[in-house]
Amino acid sequence: MDSFTPTGRSTVKRLPKRGEYGREGVYQILDEGLVCHVGFVVEGQPFVIPTGYARSGDTLYIHGAQASRMLRTLRDGVEICVTVTLVDGMVMARSAFHHSMNYRSVVVFGRAAVVEETSEKWEALRALTEHLAPGRWSEVRQPTEGEMRATLVLALALTEASAKVRTGPPVDDEEDYELPVWAGVVPLHLAAGVPINDPRLPQGIEPPPHVSNYTRGARR
Amino acid sequence: MDSFTPTGRSTVKRLPKRGEYGREGVYQILDEGLVCHVGFVVEGQPFVIPTGYARSGDTLYIHGAQASRMLRTLRDGVEICVTVTLVDGMVMARSAFHHSMNYRSVVVFGRAAVVEETSEKWEALRALTEHLAPGRWSEVRQPTEGEMRATLVLALALTEASAKVRTGPPVDDEEDYELPVWAGVVPLHLAAGVPINDPRLPQGIEPPPHVSNYTRGARR
């Protein structure tokens, strides 16, 4: 796949060696994340709101109720910044100063547009459900016309984006390596626990494989 | 503990029953999170950048290199929005429409200020290290004067904040409860793996308990 062209706002300025602009790497991070943080401005005031999302092709979709304040602001086509962050580990150095995190993050800039066309809206809702758990969409009751109307779907073209990634062990000052201090990385990942049946689930309905074998990090 | 007074920007508008303004609940979420997303505006453009943080008393601290573009913007006292989100589970309903997430999030508004005073700066760096892993600060080499100078610490008073929380099973349309579809919650949490020794760690240095017994969710 090709790469994003770094722009003034998407170029990784601090520690530029951690910046990545390849589309494939950016999409892997977007596909693994569950929640994005959407930044937008209302009368000079920044807001940062977490929400679900999904990628389909070169488009990122978010959705919500027609009444959502955030979506009503975004649908006007204001500039937004959407950030997805995966926390991969704590980097434990020999000095407090060199402690860090291993992470993979993506920042996307642009203006969202309302998805009006029914077939694209349907595809977005499919992608949003499948993003939670691949295989889910075909097992559940799909949206009615009324639910489609009640849902606002916004599309953000993935044209201006960058990733920032830190991996590997701590980097200590040379003279600190002889200190008798444990150093290394504590890996972190989003882990799934045992599924909790809905209290009203009839007896005899077992979790399907996309639930009982759920993993998030496997796609990385 | 007391509560935050909801303001125009901190009031949870969408699904207000999920809003929480108690200081204790807000602080539990801040103390469990590892990464915050900082929103700020430069020439009308929103930016959302992930970074580490820590709470000490009624103050939230972030830090970084003096050269950081984000911190240089924030130190001017612009309005910011800091959001921390914990993902607790996927809510799998019988209909695509009612899928959701269980989560706890906090949004803080205000203007950051540079921490100039040495003892407060020291306390902030202690809190930032302890926030990663309680017990770490006293085991590692603490900051030198040069490292203190190279680090920019910003303080954000916790005066305007709110939490938003979703818990529990899916809420389906009444007629969907008889569908033969598994429904429930897949719990999610940030899990620690087996610590990875630094490649240059001398033989015989074992991970301390704050590393080998690391858990994040236990404080909730």
Give the one of A139, A191, A211 whose C-beta lies nearest to B191's C-beta: A191
Domains of chain B: 16-219 (2.30.110.10)
Q: Global pTM? A: 0.96
Q: Which pLDDT does position B220 carry in this prediction?
A: 37
pLDDT tier at B217, thresholds 50, 70, 90: low
B195 band by pLDDT with thresholds 50, 70 and 90:
very high
Q: Tell me the pLDDT of chain A averaged across its residues.
A: 94
pLDDT confidence tier of residue A218, bands split at 50, 70 and 90: very low
- B194: distance to nearest CA of chain A, Å? 7
Task: List the single residue in A87, A143, A207 with the smallest CB-CB distance to B182.
Answer: A207
For residue B20, the cross-strand partners are B163
Does A36 score more than 60 pLDDT? yes
- List the beta strands (DSSP E) in B134-176: 151-157, 161-166
Chain B CB contacts of A67 under 8 Å are 14
State the CB neighbour count (10 A cutoff) for residue A159. Answer: 14
Residue type (1 letter), B84:
V
Average pLDDT over residues A107-117: 97
Which residues of chain B lie closer than 8 angstroms to A182, CB-CB? 139, 197, 201, 205-208, 211
Contact of A40 with B107, CB cutoff 8 Å? no
Our CA-based measurement puts residue B201 at a distance from the nearest CA of chain A, in whole angstroms, of: 7
Q: How far is it, in rounded angstroms, from Cα B116 to Cα B121? A: 7
B27's enclosing H/E stretch is: helix B23-32
Interface test with B, best of A69, A85, A182 (most B CBs within 10 A): A182
Report the residue of chain B nearest A188, measured CA to CA: B192
**Beta B35-42 vs A184-192: how paired, if at all?**
unpaired
Residue B134 confidence (pLDDT) above 80: yes
Q: What is the pLDDT of residues A164-198, one digit of tens each?
A: 999 999 999 999 999 999 999 999 999 999 999 99
| CA B13/CA A214 separation, integer angstroms | 33
pLDDT at residue number A217: 67
Closest residue to A139, CB basis, from B81, B90, B181: B181
Q: What is the pLDDT of residues B98-114, one digit of tens each?
A: 999 999 999 999 999 99
Query: Rounded to an integer, what distance in angstroms lies between the CA atom of residue A121 and that of residue A115?
Result: 6
* Full DSSP string of B86-143: EEEEEEE-SBGGG-EEEEEEEEEEEE-EE--SHHHHHHHHHHHHHHHSTT-GGGSBPP
Which residues from chain A sit within 8 angstroms of residue B92, using beta carbons? 132-133, 136, 211
